[in-house]
């Protein structure tokens, strides 16, 4: 169990760096997520790795909520990220219920750099931000030659290299959380057995 906790701490440290890096660029470019928007969170196909979800899974375990979360998620996948609370019927408005523990993709997405099929760097901006700030988006594209955005793929790689076994494979975000919760609960059960054997 201690290894999972050590990994989670490394992931959280990387999250702080990524939040600063991507957040600083977004602030300078004036391309931040629209307050109260949940368009991306309303999509359960957003991908994350088990490693990205590990800090949250451990937090849920430590607060006694892991088994209940796992049961809820196994009972029904839903039409959005399980962690998203809708504030409108269409799910366009809402909020993350575990914002402090959100995975890496949520910290980087919205405005980030990526490479096209021809390996040219360009800017990925979600449709809501692009529609609300078209001039800022155009300015950011023009400024890319002198002010390159942080790259989504680099952020993914930095998280994955912490532990490739848990960080390399991407899956829909709800599946990633289920897998992380199962890993934590299984490890906790084995740890309890080991403790029992030592005590005996």
For 59-117, write each residue's pLDDT tens digit.
Answer: 999 999 999 999 998 887 677 899 999 888 887 889 999 999 999 999 998 889 988 88
Give me the mean pLDDT over the 25-36 stretch: 89
Q: Is 88 exposed, middle or buried (0-12, 13-18, 19+ CB in 10 A)?
A: exposed
Percent above pLDDT 90 for the chain? 57
Separation CA 155–CA 14 (nearest Å) = 9
Confidence check: pLDDT of 196 > 80: no
Tell me the domain boundaries of the chain: 2-189
pLDDT value, residue 5: 96
pTM of the model: 0.88
Token code pair at residue 86:
């809708």
d(CA 173, CA 114): 20
Residue 55 has pLDDT above 70, yes or no: yes
Distance CA 70, CA 159 (A): 24
């Amino acid at each position: 169990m201690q290894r999972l906790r050590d990994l989670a701490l490394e992931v959280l440290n990387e999250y702080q760096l990524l939040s600063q890096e991507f957040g600083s660029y977004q602030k300078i470019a004036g391309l931040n997520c629209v307050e109260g928007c949940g368009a991306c969170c309303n999509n359960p196909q957003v991908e994350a790795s088990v490693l990205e979800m590990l800090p949250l899974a451990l937090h849920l375990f430590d607060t006694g909520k892991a088994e209940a979360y796992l049961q809820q998620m196994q009972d029904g996948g839903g039409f959005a990220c399980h962690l998203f609370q809708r504030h409108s019927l269409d799910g366009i408005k809402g909020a993350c219920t575990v914002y402090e523990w959100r995975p890496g993709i949520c910290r980087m997405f919205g405005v980030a750099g990526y490479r096209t099929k021809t390996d040219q760097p360009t800017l990925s901006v979600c449709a809501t931000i692009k529609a609300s700030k078209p001039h800022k988006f155009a300015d950011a594209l023009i400024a890319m030659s002198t002010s390159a955005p942080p790259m989504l793929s680099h952020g993914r790689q930095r998280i994955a290299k912490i532990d490739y076994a848990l960080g390399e494979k991407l899956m829909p975000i709800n599946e990633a959380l289920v897998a992380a919760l199962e890993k934590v609960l299984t490890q906790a059960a084995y740890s309890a057995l080991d403790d029992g054997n030592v005590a005996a």
